[in-house]
Amino acid sequence: AGKDIATPTRTKEILEKYGFAFKKSLGQNFLIDTNILHNIVSEADLTKEKGAIEIGPGIGALTEQLGRAAKKVMAIEIDQRLLPILQDTLSPYENIEVVHGDVLGLDLKKLIEEKMTGVEKLSVVANLPYYVTTPILMKLLEERLPLENIVVMIQKEVAERIAAKPGTKDYGSLSVAAQFYADTEVAMIVPASVFIPRPNVDSAVIRLKVRDRPPVEVDDQDVFFRVVRCSFAQRRKTLLNNLMNGLFPKTQKDEVIQMLTDIGIDPTRRGETLSLDEFARLANEGMRRGL
Ligand code: SAM
């Protein structure tokens, strides 16, 4: 269906035809490399039975590749100026629907029910606007949308934090949150030269394989995430210190030490060395003991 949008020549043609000026505040860095796009799409394991949701289609570079690989595509774009462009560039693809809006404000569950009927499985595939990477990812995961994979281009530094293992410098509450909901993997590092304009940060594609259920037994999710946040509050402090500062009354220090010892966690360890399983044990046991 015509020539690819994502070549430097065709992209410049489209931008000139519409007099389009990039808005930095919307994180507009468009992809101009079809190889990268093919690699991103192949990470999502799409078939002609599956659906794809794209966040921020831009001028449609990734969107058209998704249209070729999937049964149905819904692309959510905030920038009104791109709507007539997308209508033009995506006109050969009848299985693509563009929705105008801010992804953070939309009811995605409802949109999926309305627009993504008849697909076997659903994935999010996107080159995300970097200024809202974390809120978008947390929304996709926390709303427990019926997703198989989330394959997204994001800042390399954030990708490394999401996939980080306990005890490493990148491991933090974002790692725990993402790994609670998904199996995470940095799929590829991407050079700035494949974007126009070039972003000021390094980029990477991360693949989140969404889990059917969390990998650990957690009695109360709010308590679990409160324990996690509190344990990472001050990275130079011991786990015990962080817990006593943010979570437990000072008078219960002995009880907290006893509990940590009972569940096999040394109170002098640092929070950032705890695995998801250890955070779960700590949260569950803290509740059981009424601490
Ligand atoms: N997919 C295109 C590509 O790869 O060439 C464009 C990617 S660009 C990094 C991010 C896109 O997200 C832009 O088109 C921008 O207008 C759009 N965008 C920014 N904030 C958004 C939001 N809150 N909701 C939906 N789209 C947004």
Instruction: Provide the ipTM.
Output: 0.99
For ligand 1, atom 23: residue with the closest CA: 102
Contact of 5 with 11, CB cutoff 8 Å: yes
Q: What is the Å distance from ligand 1's center to 177 Cα?
A: 24
In terms of Cα–Cα distance, which of 43, 15, 212, 217 is closest to 125?
Answer: 43
Tokens of 63: 């969107």
In terms of Cα–Cα distance, which of 41, 44, 51 is closest to 114?
Answer: 51
Cα–Cα distance, 9 to 117 (Å, whole number): 36
Taking CA atoms, 281 is separated from 120, 138, 259, 265, 275, in Å, by 36, 23, 10, 9, 10
pLDDT of residue 2: 64
pLDDT of residue 25: 97
Mutate-to-test residue for ligand 1 from 12, 28, 33, 205, highest number of ligand atoms within 8 A of CB: 28
Q: What is the pLDDT of residues 253-272, one digit of tens each?
A: 999 999 999 999 999 999 99
Q: What is the pLDDT of residues 69-116, one digit of tens each?
A: 999 999 999 999 999 999 999 999 999 999 999 999 999 999 999 999
Q: What is the Å distance from ligand 1's center to 227 Cα?
A: 34
pLDDT of residue 3: 83
Pocket, ligand 1, Cβ cutoff 6 A: 26-31, 55-58, 61-62, 76-79, 82, 102-104, 127, 129, 132
Residues that constitute the known binding site for S-adenosyl-L-methionine: 29, 31, 56, 77, 102, 127
Q: What is the Å distance from ligand 1's center to 195 Cα?
A: 13
pTM: 0.96
pLDDT of residue 290: 85
Mutate-to-test residue for ligand 1 from 78, 90, 200, highest number of ligand atoms within 8 A of CB: 78
19 conformational bin, left if phi > 0, alpha if psi -120 to 50, beta if neither: left
Mutate-to-test residue for ligand 1 from 66, 79, 136, highest number of ligand atoms within 8 A of CB: 79
Give the atom of ligand 1 at the shortest distance from the alpha carbon of 37. 4
Residue 4 has pLDDT above 80, yes or no: yes
Contact of 53 with 96, CB cutoff 8 Å: no
